[in-house]
């Protein structure tokens, strides 16, 4: 099934539709954790009508695909070419990055102690964006938390947050817990913040998705190993000082045996117990491991598996590379889509820690505030 029917809706900040905009080039990326980004080129007259803060909706084959908020625009003149506006922005997770976690009155931190990761995320979003005690901090558009999962997702966490960026904080929790975060417009037009689980689409599941050059289910595939640049032994420095400081070491014994021991010291001084220090080390180790093996694949356009129907970002699928004897299951972390006036829609999946692209510069938000700490 070919995916070519794309409509670009232009909305004002109040979400009222202003126009359907023709574009020269459009690309967007959706992520399991971390929010999405977009970039597009518009002709002179069309781009002039779109302001920073406006909303762009991408509809793909009649389904809502991506909603983004314009953060930057520039006008370029080049010889022998018509002037073009370039618009760049982020998805609706932008709203989470506009708030910081302010401790409740009389408390030094906003604490979430011994709760499921999903519960901590829901608390911080509700208390600092949707229903804060200060009415001036309430998000100025209709927004809700999607229903909680049952049981709540993620391991038990303990977190003390103080004046840290809300968006970055919930992303840290989600990454550590292996769960996803989705901020989208629902059927009624309201912003919905949802905590989501990965979906099993492996070869052993009831709905298998296998990406393999041998099976013809991918047009291109790039497999990269970068293990020696990562660390597999985390020395966690917890609370205390000098000889009395809490120190725990967490290792990946399989990678140590295969590639040698590579150590990293992790400052986790708010960890007051061995279990908390070990937990922080495991979280860091998981992040290091995600960068060891990267895969990027472009699914076959005419293949039997259709984007958003058979597979999507957050799905765990099977990757099969018989030429090098590799067959493993891995989660789709990012889906990137590109289209211009001369080529059809191109969809690329990134597994593991994807290589940053140009649009990722939009995600480098100010993090000069104090981060939260796992304890």
* Sheet of 180-185, strands arranged across: 143-145, 191-196, 180-185
Q: Which of 153-157, 163-167, 370-374 has the lowest mean pLDDT?
A: 370-374
Beta bridge partners of 10: 19, 56
Residue with tokens 């670009």: 8
302: Cβ contacts below 8 Å, ≥ 6 apart: 2
Mean of the per-residue pLDDT values of the chain:
88
Kindly report whether the peptide bond that precedes residue 71 is cis, defined as omega within 30 degrees of 0.
no
Q: Is 259 exposed, middle or buried (0-12, 13-18, 19+ CB in 10 A)?
A: middle
Residue 4's pLDDT band (cuts 50, 70, 90): low
Q: Phi and psi at residue 113, in whole multiples of 5°?
A: -115, 125
Domain 97-198+366-374, architecture per CATH = 3-Layer(bab) Sandwich (3.55)
217 within 8 A of 318, measured Cβ to Cβ: no
Q: Rounded to the nearest 10 degrees, what angle do helices 274-290 and 166-177 cross at? A: 90
Could you give the CA distance from residue 37 to residue 3 in angstroms, rounded to a whole number? 20
Helix, strand, coil abundance in the chain, percent, nearest 5: 20, 40, 40
Determine what percent of the chain is predicted with pLDDT higher than 90: 66
Residue 341 has pLDDT above 80, yes or no: no
* Count of Cβ atoms closer than 10 Å to residue 342 Cβ: 7
Residue 354 DSSP class? P
Q: Give me the half-sphere count of Cα atoms (radius 13 Å) on the Cβ side of residue 307.
A: 27
Q: Rounded to the nearest 10 degrees, what angle do helices 166-177 and 117-125 cross at? A: 170
Q: What is the pLDDT of residues 231-254, one digit of tens each?
A: 999 999 988 989 999 999 999 999
Residue 171 has pLDDT above 60, yes or no: yes
Strand pairing category for 191-196 and 143-145: parallel
Q: What is the pLDDT of residues 290-323, one digit of tens each?
A: 777 889 999 998 778 899 999 999 999 999 999 9
The 3 state secondary structure assigned to 116-150 is EHHHHHHHHHHHHHHCCCCHHHCCCCCEEECCCCC
Q: Which of 20-29, 68-77, 131-140, 338-347 has the lowest mean pLDDT?
A: 338-347
The 3 state secondary structure assigned to 217-276 is CEEEEEEEECHHHCCCEEEEECCCCHHHCCEEEEECHHHHHHHCCCEEEEECCCCCCHHH
Residue 205: both structure tokens together: 């599941």
Distance of CA 149 to the CA centre of its chain: 19
Q: How far is CA 213 from CA 95, 109, 181, 256, 285, in A?
A: 40, 51, 31, 31, 31
């Amino acid at each position: 099934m070919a995916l070519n029917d794309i409509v670009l809706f232009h909305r004002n900040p109040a979400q009222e539709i202003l126009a359907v905009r023709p574009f020269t080039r459009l690309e967007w990326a959706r992520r399991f954790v971390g929010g999405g980004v977009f970039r597009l080129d518009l002709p002179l007259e069309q781009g002039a009508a779109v302001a920073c803060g406006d909303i762009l909706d991408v509809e793909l084959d009649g389904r809502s695909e991506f909603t983004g908020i314009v953060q930057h625009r520039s006008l370029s003149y080049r010889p022998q070419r018509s002037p073009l506006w370039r618009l760049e922005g982020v998805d609706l997770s932008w709203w989470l990055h506009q708030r910081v976690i302010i401790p409740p009155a009389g408390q030094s931190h906003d604490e979430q102690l011994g709760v499921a990761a999903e519960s901590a995320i829901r608390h911080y979003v509700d208390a600092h964006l949707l229903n804060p005690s200060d009415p001036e901090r309430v998000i100025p558009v209709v927004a809700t938390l999607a229903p909680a999962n049952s049981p709540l997702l993620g391991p038990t966490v303990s977190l003390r947050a103080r004046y840290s960026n809300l968006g970055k904080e919930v992303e840290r929790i989600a990454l550590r817990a292996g769960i996803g975060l989705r901020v989208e417009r629902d059927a009624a037009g309201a912003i919905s913040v949802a905590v989501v689980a990965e979906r099993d689409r492996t070869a052993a599941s009831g709905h298998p998705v296998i990406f393999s050059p041998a099976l013809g289910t991918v047009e291109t595939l790039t497999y990269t190993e970068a293990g020696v640049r990562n660390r597999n032994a985390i020395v966690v420095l917890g609370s205390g000082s000098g000889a009395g400081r809490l120190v725990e070491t967490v290792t990946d014994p399989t990678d140590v045996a295969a590639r040698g021991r590579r150590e990293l010291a992790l400052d986790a001084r708010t960890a007051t117990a061995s279990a908390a220090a070990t937990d922080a080390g495991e979280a860091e180790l998981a992040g290091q491991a995600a960068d060891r093996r990267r895969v990027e694949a472009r699914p076959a356009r005419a293949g039997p598996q259709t984007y958003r129907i058979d597979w999507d970002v957050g799905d765990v699928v099977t990757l099969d590379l018989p030429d090098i004897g590799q067959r493993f299951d891995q989660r789709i972390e990012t889906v990137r889509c590109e289209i211009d006036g001369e080529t059809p829609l191109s969809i690329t999946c990134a597994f593991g820690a994807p290589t940053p692209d140009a649009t990722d510069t939009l995600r480098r938000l100010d993090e000069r505030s104090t981060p939260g700490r796992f304890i």
